[in-house]
């Protein structure tokens, strides 16, 4: 039983990371109907930046965290400005290809700048454990869960109560009407990309201590994608729920099932859920008839 | 009436891709006036409004607002200058509450007190919106959504209001109610209104001056009092002719 709980907690922590990356997908998709396939690479870039700030420059963890977030916010809106905006209005396919290209560019840039070795960072949580009865929980895992909860609360408050947050919702619900209200729609798109890059960056920094930082970290985006679909693409709570579900499934199947099942478990769950609820766990019922 | 029009279109031509929507439209709107544009489906009425609010860029011609050229400006700049657009089919934000819809209408306003008092004012014009302020806009009826769309546009405190088919899909009784309020808004707030409408009778009774549009061109313009008397209008737009041309 203790093993089970231990695995579930580990799964939740990993799932939070998937959930945050999925959240990045969903934010951009909801606002602009673009699926950003570079989300995983953006997460990776956040992790590498944290390595530079923490390990290379030796900055304080919290300061480094803040600097990473600021850098990624700027990079996110730059990516929107340089890669997506010029082709906005062209077929979806072109934009999807552009984001895949963006992901490849980031991956090779990371290889050029940071090399291809596995890197590590030390955080205030490294090697720390919390004992709860018989349970032993790594502080790294706990920090991921707590930080994800905090980040979600912040995002919720931002979208619910601030003028810009509501305007982002308005833009995603009816772009034409947003134009008529004097909402600077294009600036909203940049902001959404910033926000999504910030979320991805947090995921990257949180993940860095429990795995190595390396140039293939971006492939995690491929795992976060089923998380977003599972939640019902376009639903923010769904993205998190989807991420956590996949994290738990992976963790449990890695522990109880023979070698190899871990990597496909997420997709098996995804297929099963989609057969039962094609709109995803939190998706709306709106269905296109044709 | 002052001699300077608040909004003037001169020889404006716009296209949707390869299709020319309006050809050489010239039109004046005086401060405090209601001007209507009549015409059948596809005559280019909506395109005129979209061109004014900057969603559609004109190929040629000029649009002047208070003497300043505004053609090809970004839509949000045009709203800031004082032109608000109530689009055809309402286009409310379906998952935002009625109150948040109104707040978005005031996006260009920074003063929170003004916004709150403006919201109250809109609730006085449309009491049903006060009752439903916390509901999401998608749950309102068509008429209520129209009221919300109009008040949302007024939240920007415009000098010119562009109204696109406010009667669309509403019951005759509701149409009457909406037009009564349009007249009140014009009289009490002094906002000039450019009204695009298929319901020619309602439009002519409400507006001061009218333009008649056919396949993207102005074919006739006069005061509404004169237009109502005109044989052509009687026959084609009000359905009083002996020879039913349809």
Q: Is the dihedral of CA B133, B135, B138, B143 positive or negative?
A: negative
Contact between residue A163 and residue B107 where contact means Cβ atoms under 8 Å apart:
yes
Q: Does A179 touch chain B (CB under 8 A)?
A: yes
Using beta carbons and an 8 Å cutoff, which residues of B are at the interface with A?
53-55, 74-76, 78-80, 84-87, 91-96, 100, 103-105, 107-108, 152-153, 156
Task: Tell if the CB–CB gap between A182 and B76 is shorter than 8 Å.
Answer: yes
Share of chain A above pLDDT 90, in %: 56
Number of inter-chain CB pairs under 8 A, A vs B = 68
Closest partner residue to B85 (CB to CB) among A170, A180, A184 is A180
What are the structure tokens assigned to A158, written together?
Answer: 């931002």
Q: Chain B partners of A177 at a C-beta cutoff of 8 Å? A: 87, 91-93
Task: Tell if the CB–CB gap between A169 and B95 is shorter than 8 Å.
Answer: yes
β strands within chain B, DSSP E: 7-16, 19-29, 34-39, 58-65, 68-69, 83-86, 160-164, 192-197, 209-214, 217-223
Distance from CA of A146 to the nearest CA of B (A): 29
Q: Does A173 touch chain B (CB under 8 A)?
A: yes
Closest partner residue to B107 (CB to CB) among A167, A169, A174 is A167
Sheet holding B7-16, edge to edge: B19-29, B7-16, B58-65, B68-69
List pLDDT tens digits, range A179-226. Answer: 999 999 999 999 999 999 999 999 999 998 888 898 888 888 888 888
Neighbour count for residue A275 (Cβ, 10 Å): 8
From chain A residues 138-167, the ones with a CB under 8 A of any chain B CB are 163, 166-167
In this predicted structure, the answer to whether residue A78 has a pLDDT above a threshold of 80 is yes
Find the helix packing angle between A139-161 and A2-32, rounded to 10°.
30
Q: Chain A partners of B84 at a C-beta cutoff of 8 Å? A: 180
Question: Which ipTM value was assigned to this complex?
Answer: 0.88
List pLDDT tens digits, range A136-190. Answer: 888 888 999 999 999 999 999 999 999 999 999 999 999 999 999 999 999 999 9
pLDDT confidence tier of residue B120, bands split at 50, 70 and 90 = very high
Place of tokens 């084609």: B236
Q: How far is CA A168 from CA A252, B154, B213, in A?
A: 38, 21, 37
What are the structure tokens assigned to B103, written together?
Answer: 């707040």
What is the chain A residue with the closest CA to B76?
A182
List pLDDT tens digits, range B4-17. Answer: 899 999 999 998 87
Q: Domain segments of chain A: what residues?
A: 2-220
CA dihedral A102, A107, A113, A119 (to 10 degrees): 140
Question: Does domain B7-91+160-236 correspond to CATH entry 3.30.930.10?
Answer: no
Contact between residue A28 and residue A187 where contact means Cβ atoms under 8 Å apart:
no
Which burial class, exposed, middle or buried, applies to A251 when counting CB atoms under 10 A from its CB (0-12, 13-18, 19+)? buried
């Amino acid at each position: 039983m203790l093993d089970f709980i231990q695995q579930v907690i580990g799964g939740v922590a990993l799932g939070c990371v998937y959930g945050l990356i999925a959240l990045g997908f969903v934010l951009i998709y909801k606002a602009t109907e673009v699926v950003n396939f570079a989300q995983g690479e953006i997460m990776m870039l956040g992790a590498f930046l944290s390595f530079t700030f923490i390990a290379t420059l030796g900055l304080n963890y919290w300061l480094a965290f803040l600097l990473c977030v600021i850098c990624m916010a700027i990079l996110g809106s730059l990516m929107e400005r340089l890669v997506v905006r010029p082709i906005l209005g062209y077929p979806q396919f072109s934009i999807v290809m552009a984001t895949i290209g963006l992901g490849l560019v980031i991956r090779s840039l990371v290889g050029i700048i940071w090399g291809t070795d596995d890197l590590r960072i030390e955080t205030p949580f490294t090697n720390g454990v919390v004992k709860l009865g018989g349970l032993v929980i790594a502080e790294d895992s706990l920090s991921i869960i707590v930080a994800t909860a905090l980040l979600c609360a912040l995002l919720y408050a931002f979208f619910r109560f601030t003028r810009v947050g509501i305007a982002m919702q308005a833009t995603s619900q009816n772009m034409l009407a947003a134009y008529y209200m004097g909402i600077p729609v294009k600036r909203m798109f940049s902001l959404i990309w910033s926000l999504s890059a910030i979320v991805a960056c947090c995921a990257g920094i949180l993940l860095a201590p429990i795995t190595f930082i390396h140039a293939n970290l971006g492939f995690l985006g491929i795992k976060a994608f089923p998380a977003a679909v599972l939640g019902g693409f376009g639903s923010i709570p769904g993205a998190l729920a989807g991420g956590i579900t996949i994290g738990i499934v992976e963790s449990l199947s890695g522990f109880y099932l023979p070698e190899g099942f871990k990597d496909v478990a997420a997709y098996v769950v995804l297929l099963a859920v989609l057969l039962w609820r094609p709109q995803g766990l939190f998706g709306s019922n709106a269905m296109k008839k044709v | 009436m002052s001699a300077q029009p608040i909004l003037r279109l001169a020889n404006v031509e716009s296209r949707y891709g390869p299709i020319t929507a309006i050809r050489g439209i010239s039109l004046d709107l005086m401060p405090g006036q209601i001007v209507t544009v009549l015409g059948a489906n596809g005559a280019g009425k909506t395109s005129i409004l979209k061109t004014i609010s900057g969603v559609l860029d004109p190929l040629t011609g000029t649009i002047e607002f208070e003497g300043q050229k505004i053609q090809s400006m970004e839509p949000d700049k045009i709203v800031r200058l004082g032109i608000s657009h109530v689009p055809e089919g309402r286009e409310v934000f379906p998952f935002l509450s009625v109150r948040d819809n109104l707040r978005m209408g005031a996006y260009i306003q920074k003063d929170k007190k003004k916004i709150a008092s403006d919201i109250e004012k809109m609730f006085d014009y449309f009491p049903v919106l006060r009752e439903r302020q916390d509901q999401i806009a998608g749950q309102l009826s068509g008429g209520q959504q129209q009221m919300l769309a109009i008040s949302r546009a007024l939240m920007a405190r415009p000098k010119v209001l562009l109204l696109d088919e406010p009667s669309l899909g509403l019951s005759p009784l509701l149409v009457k109610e909406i037009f009564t309020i349009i007249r009140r808004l014009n009289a009490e707030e002094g906002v000039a209104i450019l009204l695009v409408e298929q319901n020619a009778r309602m439009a002519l009774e409400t507006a001061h001056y009218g333009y008649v549009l056919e396949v993207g061109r102005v074919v006739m313009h006069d005061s509404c009092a004169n237009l109502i008397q005109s044989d052509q209008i009687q026959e084609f737009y009000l359905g009083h002719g002996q020879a039913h041309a349809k």
